[in-house]
A and B are shown apart, each in its own frame.
Chain A
Amino acid sequence: MMADGATLPASTSTLGNEGGIEIRNISKAFRRAKETEGVQALQDVTLTIKPNTFVSLVGPSGCGKTTLLRMLNGLITPDSGEILVGGKPPRPGPHMGFVFQSFRLMPWRTIRENVSFPCELSGMSDKERADRADRYLDMVGLRRFADSYPNELSGGMKQRAALCRALIAEPHYLLMDEPFAALDAQTREFMQIELMKIWQHHKSIVVFVTHSVDEAVLLSDQIVLLRPRPGQVSEILDVNLPHPRWEYDAREKREFVELRHHLWERIKAMVSADPQSEFYMRGVKSEAAQGPID
C-alpha cells in the first residue's frame, strides 16, 4: 500500500488486509427524549464497498449520508443490521481517517502537533511523530506552516492540515464528511485535485459524503445515491472515467455530463416530492415532481 509500510503503527497491523466494507440491512432511527416516534434516518440499507474504491454518498438533506459515515467509523451503532469493516465491526481509531467539514483543529496546538495527534494516541515517540507529520505536511505543501497555529492559516490550509491528520496513521479507510463544503469554489477545486493525487498514491477505501453532484462524479469510482425519509439506497452508479482525472478536463467528457445530469434530475425529483423539504413542489417542472422516485 504505502511505500514505508515498515513504520505502520502496531494497531493497524491487526486489521484484515485492505478489507472491504460490508453494510447489511442497517436501520437507524433518531428520537428526541420523550418522543415515541423517531425520525428514520436509515432504513434497510445494504451496500458493499470493494477495496481501493472511492465511493461518494450523495442525496438530498436528510437522507442519512452523514449518519451512515459515522456508523462506518463506529461513532454510532445501527439499531439493526450489521456493518463489517475489513471483516470486523467498525471501531474508531487511527486506521480510519476521518475528515470533517469543520476542520476541527485544536487551536492551542501547532499544525505539526495537530497533524500528529492520531499517532500520539497510539503512543508513538515524539521524534518519530514529528518526522512523520513533517513528511505528510510536505505532501500537502504545508511544511512551512508546521510551527504555525490554526488561527494563522486560511480555510484551505486548515483543511489540508485536517486531511494530513486523517492520513498520518496511514489508514485503510478514509471517511470524509463534506470536507470541502466550507471552502470557496476555487480552493475547493484545487483541494479536489490534491485529494485525487493523494488517493492515487495511497490507494485506500474513501467514503466521501458530499452535496455536490459535480464533486461526486469527478472524484468517485462509485456513487451511491440515497433518498430521504427514510434514508435508503436509491441507486448505485459506476463512474468509468479513466484515472488520473486531473490530467484532462473530466468535466467536458460526455459520461461526466450525463451522470451529473442524471443525478441532479433524480435529486431534484426527490426534493420536490418530499413534503418535509423546504423546496417541496417548488421550482421544478411538475412532470419531474410526479416522476417515479425509484
Chain B
Amino acid sequence: MAAQEDRAVTPITQRRPRIGPRLSHVHLNVWRSLVFVLLIAFWWLMAVFAGQNFLPTPWQTLQASFQVIGDGTVPRATLDTVMVFLAGFIAAAAFAIPFGLLMGGFRVFGATLEGYVNALSAMPRVSFIPIIIVFLGLGYEAKIFIVFIGAVMPILINTYAGVLNCDGELVEMARSAGAKDTQIFRKIMLPGALPYITAGLRVGASLALINTVVAELYTAVKGLGGLLSVYGNSFRMAPYFVVVCVLALIGVAVMQSLKLLERRMDHWRYRGERF
C-alpha cells in the first residue's frame, strides 16, 4: 500500500451517520465492561428477590458451571448443538443464496415464486416438526432439517431483495461498456447484493440457533436443548442457567464471525473503522 500517506489527504465524502462522539474517540471496552457489570448486578438482584429456587445467583451459576463443564456434560452437548446448527445453517445458506440469486436474476422465475416464498416465510416453521419427525425420525437428519427451514427464508428473501435493489445506473454503465447479461450479473448485481446477503445470513443465523434448541427439545433430547429439558424438568436451575449462558455465548460467537465475514467481503465500506 504505497498510497498510505495519500489517503490522509483524501477527502472522505461519505461518513457513517452517527450521533454523539466518534467511535474511535471512546474507550469502548470500558463501556462494554460497565454494561456487563450492570447486567450481572441486575441478575443478582433478581435472584435475591425471586428466591434462589427459581433463579440462581450468578455465583451459584458459576459454581454449577465448574461441575457440569468439568464432567464433560456441557462440552459434549455444546459440540452436538454446534454441529447441528452449523450443518443446518450452512445447508440453508448453500441453498438460499443461489436460489435467491436465480429469483432476482430471472425476473419471471422470481415474480412467479415470490408469493409462495412470502407465504412460507410467514408460516411458523415449528408447525412442520410433527411431519418432519414422521419422515426423518428423531435423529440428526430431522434436527438439521428443522434448523434448515428456520434459516432458509430470511437468507433467501434478503438475497432476492439484494439483486432486485441493484443500482440500475451501474447496470446501464456496464451495458454501455459492452457487458453481457452474465457479466452484469456477476460483476454488478452480485457484489451489489452482498450487503443484503450478509444481513440475511445474520437474521438466518439467529433463527437457526433458536431452531437448533427447538429441534433438540422436540426430537431426540440431545445437545444443549436436551440439557435445558433435563435440568428444567428436574428444577436444577443453576446448571440450567449455565446452559442458557452457553447458548448466549454461542450466539455472540456466531454473530461476531458473521460480522468479520461481512467486513472481509465489504471491506470498502468499513475501511479504517474499528469494531
Mark A86-107 against chain B: 1 for CB-CB distance below 8 A, else 0. 0000011110101010101011
Q: Are B172 and A75 in contact, with the CB atoms below 8 A?
A: yes
- With the chains together, A15 CA to B6 CA distance in Å? 40
Which residues of A are found within 8 Å of B172, using beta-carbon distances? 75, 100, 104
Q: Are B173 and A100 in contact, with the CB atoms below 8 A?
A: yes
Known A108-B194, A153-B11: A93·B178 in contact at CB below 8 Å: yes
Size of B's binding interface in residues, CB under 8 A:
30
Return the chain A residue nearest B4 by Cβ.
Answer: A147
- With the chains together, A239 CA to B201 CA distance in Å? 59
Q: Are B176 and A96 in contact, with the CB atoms below 8 A?
A: yes
Distance from B187 Cβ to chain A, minimum over Cβ atoms (Å): 8
- With the chains together, A153 CA to B12 CA distance in Å? 7
Return the chain A residue nearest B191 by Cβ.
Answer: A108
The reply on B170 being an interface residue by CB < 8 A is yes
Q: Are A145 and B3 in contact, with the CB atoms below 8 A?
A: yes
Known A106-B188, A121-B177: A146·B3 in contact at CB below 8 Å: yes
Distance from B188 Cβ to chain A, minimum over Cβ atoms (Å): 7
- With the chains together, A155 CA to B11 CA distance in Å? 10
Which residues of A are found within 8 Å of B6, using beta-carbon distances? 144-145, 148
Which residues of A are found within 8 Å of B269, using beta-carbon distances? 107-108
The reply on B10 being an interface residue by CB < 8 A is yes
Mark B33-50 against chain A: 1 for CB-CB distance below 8 A, else 0. 000000000000000000
Which residues of A are found within 8 Å of B175, using beta-carbon distances? 75, 92
The reply on A73 being an interface residue by CB < 8 A is yes
Which residues of B are found within 8 Å of A148, using beta-carbon distances? 3, 6-7, 10
The reply on A151 being an interface residue by CB < 8 A is yes
The reply on A290 being an interface residue by CB < 8 A is no
The reply on A36 being an interface residue by CB < 8 A is no
- A–B complex contacts, Cβ < 8 Å, 5 sampled: A92-B178, A104-B169, A107-B268, A108-B191, A109-B268
The list of the 5 closest CB pairs from A to B, nearest first, reads A93-B178, A104-B173, A98-B176, A149-B268, A151-B14
Interface residue ranges, B against A (CB under 8 Å) = 1-3, 6-7, 10-14, 169-170, 172-179, 183, 187-188, 191-192, 194, 266, 268-269, 271
Interface residue ranges, A against B (CB under 8 Å) = 11, 73, 75, 91-94, 96, 98, 100, 102, 104, 106-110, 117-118, 120-122, 144-149, 151-155, 165
Task: Known pairs A91-B178, A152-B12, A165-B177; list 17 more (Cβ under 8 Å).
Answer: A11-B178, A73-B176, A75-B176, A92-B176, A100-B169, A106-B188, A106-B191, A108-B266, A109-B268, A117-B187, A121-B178, A145-B10, A146-B3, A148-B7, A151-B13, A152-B10, A152-B11
